[in-house]
Amino acid sequence: MSALQRNDIWSIVSLPPRKKPVGCKWIFNLKHRADNTIDRFKARLVAKGYTQSFDINYQETFTPVAKMNTIRVLLSLAANFSWPLKQFDVKNAFLHGDLEEEVYMQLPPGFNSSQSSGKVCRLQKALYGLKQSPRAWFGRFTEAMKRIGYHQGNFDHTLFIKQKNGKVTLLIIYVDDMIVTGDDTNEIKKLQECLSTEFEMKDLGGLKYFLGIEVARTKDGIYLSQQKYILNLLSETGMLECKPIESSIVQNH
């Protein structure tokens, strides 16, 4: 709730005539570290976007997704040129997206106020669960990256590139997780500082876990493994017996 209020996600208003508010609910989850230990308990307010109506309270929904081939190319470059691999995360990423549509939402469960009887939330920014939230967030992030001199890749729009004084900095984003690499360490530091002025950032240090892939770096190269992801999937489906899973390596050349 504090994050929602801090980002001015909504204002409490009376529901206009002929307007229908979308519902909402709390989702409770556990965030795990790469070694499967519990990192933190997480609560997230999610709008019931399935009740939205096209051309009434949402329009475009498409947003690009990072391509696995692009991620592998970045890891290969980092391995071959000994570039650092940094990982950043944006806290409550979707709450930074600006809404263009007029969207009303029911008050969140547990929201208590003597002034709110018969009222609804007029959403001013995107919220998890809304159909347009991914697009709104990615649009806001793209604007921020272009302001500080980055341009999008032609093949993969989630890849942002900056070349300066013969050096290059690369960032790829998947929803709110980012991998940053390149040979310009000063620019990487400056990038983190600039993004921190726009969003609430979290520096996760060296890349260790991304999209279900465990990443381990040695002098021989970068090892990639999905063993944890697959074992968790097998456990959830009841298929506990499985053969050992091979890891792959992006080698130095």
pLDDT tens-digit map of 37-47: 888 888 888 98
Tell me the pTM. Answer: 0.77
Dist CA 118 CA 78 (whole Å): 56
The tokens for 14 are 């009376």
pLDDT of 243 higher than 60 = no
pLDDT of 247 higher than 90 = no
pLDDT of 253 higher than 70 = no
Determine contact, residues 170/183, Cβ cutoff 8 Å: no
Q: What is the mean pLDDT of the chain?
A: 84
Distances (CA, A) of 71 to 15, 79, 134: 45, 12, 20
Please provide the size of the chain in residues.
253
Dist CA 104 CA 138 (whole Å): 22
Going by pLDDT thresholds of 50, 70 and 90, the confidence category of residue 190 is: very high
The pLDDT tens digits of the residues spanning 62-111 come to 778 888 899 989 999 999 999 999 999 888 888 888 888 889 999 988 87
Determine contact, residues 141/175, Cβ cutoff 8 Å: no
Going by pLDDT thresholds of 50, 70 and 90, the confidence category of residue 213 is: confident
pLDDT of residue 245: 46
The pLDDT tens digits of the residues spanning 120-137 come to 989 988 888 888 888 889
What are the start-end ranges of the H helices in the chain?
Answer: 2-6, 68-81, 133-147, 185-198, 227-237
